[in-house]
Amino acid sequence: MFERTDIEVEAEGRIMLRGWLYVPTADTAPYPAITMAHGYAGVKEHGLERFAEKFASNGFVVLLHDHRNFGASEGTPRQDIDPWCQIADWRRVISFLENQDIVDAKRIGLWGTSYAGGHALVLGATERRIRAVVAQVPTISGFEQGQRRIPPNAVLSLEDAFAADEREQARGEPPRRQTIVSADPAVSASYRDKDAVDFYLQPVPDGAWENSVTVRSTRAARMYEPGAWIARVSPTPLLMVVALQDTITLTDLELAAYERALEPKRLVTIQGGHFDPYTTKFDQSSSAALEWFKEHLS
């Protein structure tokens, strides 16, 4: 029902973003299209293939790319996350899609999840080439997330690590790194919950992902406030998929943000935690997104 090919998109700094382009095999081109990307420190092999395949099987061209510095994409330092750079790169991906003969440039939708769900809000508010947005368990406030997820007695050591990292970089040393997921409390890590450990450590092809991220990525995440853009997404249609027991991007922040969004909008709530929309509740989350894209891109 579709064919998948490897693609490259040149982003600023002559960095090649790499990903997969899914093209339906039905002879009805040009097709509507969906552009997708992963959340914090993830790669396309982390549970997103099933979403892309479902969308492509239903008549959408789908472009799923790795963010710069991650996975198959180029960029250094490796495993380094700048949300605003990722957003700028995503605009280039949209331009790439526009220029494909098989794509109807007036019918491009965007799907982002978790950290990239926050990007979806920013792009939805600032990129009118996008005709429909799906933000799955999106980051709303890096500050609020940090306030709740980092124990008060650990904040001082985290700030000390930020300062030491900055001083070292000023001396020409590479950015410090920390582990993304670890259940060991003695190891500095972005996530410790079992569901996060299980999700990030799921089997992926050799070399596709590594369990590390720069310390300065954490500082950038704590400064990132994509929820501030949500009221500006309108008049672009916005679907939010929210997990009701989300302790990562925080259910109450997402629900409050949804109330600030303007029409047209729709909220789909899912029982479970942050990672359930990818796993145990995949059918519900993917079907909601598919119906939203069909409604607004068909």
Question: What are the tens digits of pLDDT across the range 13-26?
Answer: 999 999 999 999 98
Is 234 in contact with 260 (CB distance < 8 Å)? no
Peptide bond into 30 cis (omega under 30): yes
Average pLDDT of the residues of the chain: 96
pLDDT tens-digit series, residues 158-192: 999 999 999 999 999 999 999 999 999 889 899 99
Distance CA 91, CA 63 (A): 13
Q: What is the pLDDT of residues 39-85, one digit of tens each?
A: 999 999 999 999 999 999 999 999 999 999 999 999 999 999 999 99
CA distance 291 to 131: 14
**Confidence at residue 26, expressed as pLDDT on a 0 to 100 scale:** 84
Bridge-based pairing of strands 177-181 and 213-214 is antiparallel
Q: Residue 191: helix, strand or coil by DSSP?
A: strand
Using a cut of 0.75, tell me whether the model's pTM lies above it: yes
Q: Residue 58: is it exposed, middle or buried by C-beta count within 10 angstroms (0-12/13-18/19+)? A: middle
Beta-bridge partner residues of 189: 179
Q: Give exposure, 20-44, as e/b (b: 16+ Cβ within 10 Å).
A: bbbbbeeeeeebbbbbbbbbbbbbb
The pLDDT value recorded for residue 21 is 98
Amino acid at 171: R
Q: Are 48 and 114 in contact (CB under 8 A)?
A: no
Break the chain into its structural domains and give their ranges. Answer: 2-148+224-297
CA-CA distance, 66 to 45, in Å (whole number)?
Answer: 9
Q: Assign 153 a pLDDT band (cuts: 50, 70, 90).
A: confident
Residue 248 has pLDDT above 90, yes or no: yes
DSSP string of 80-93, one letter each residue: ---HHHHHHHHHHH
Question: The CATH number of 2-148+224-297 is which of 3.30.2130.10, 3.20.20.60, 3.40.50.1820, 1.10.3720.10?
Answer: 3.40.50.1820
* pLDDT confidence of residue 54: 98
Residue 298, classified by CB atoms within 10 Å of its CB into exposed (0-12), middle (13-18) or buried (19+), is: exposed
Q: Indicate whether 133 pLDDT > 80.
A: yes
CB 204 within 8 A of CB 43: yes
Return d(Cα 129, Cα 116) in angstroms, integer: 18
pLDDT of residue 152: 85
Amino acid 45 reads E
- Among the listed residues 217, 248, 277, the one whose alpha carbon sits nearest the alpha carbon of residue 48: 277
Rg, Å, the chain Cα set: 18
Q: How far apart are CA 238 and CA 134, in angstroms?
A: 6
**CA-to-CA distance for 31 and 176, rounded, in angstroms?**
44
| pLDDT of amino acid 179 | 96
Q: Can you tell me which residue has the tokens 């990562």? A: 248
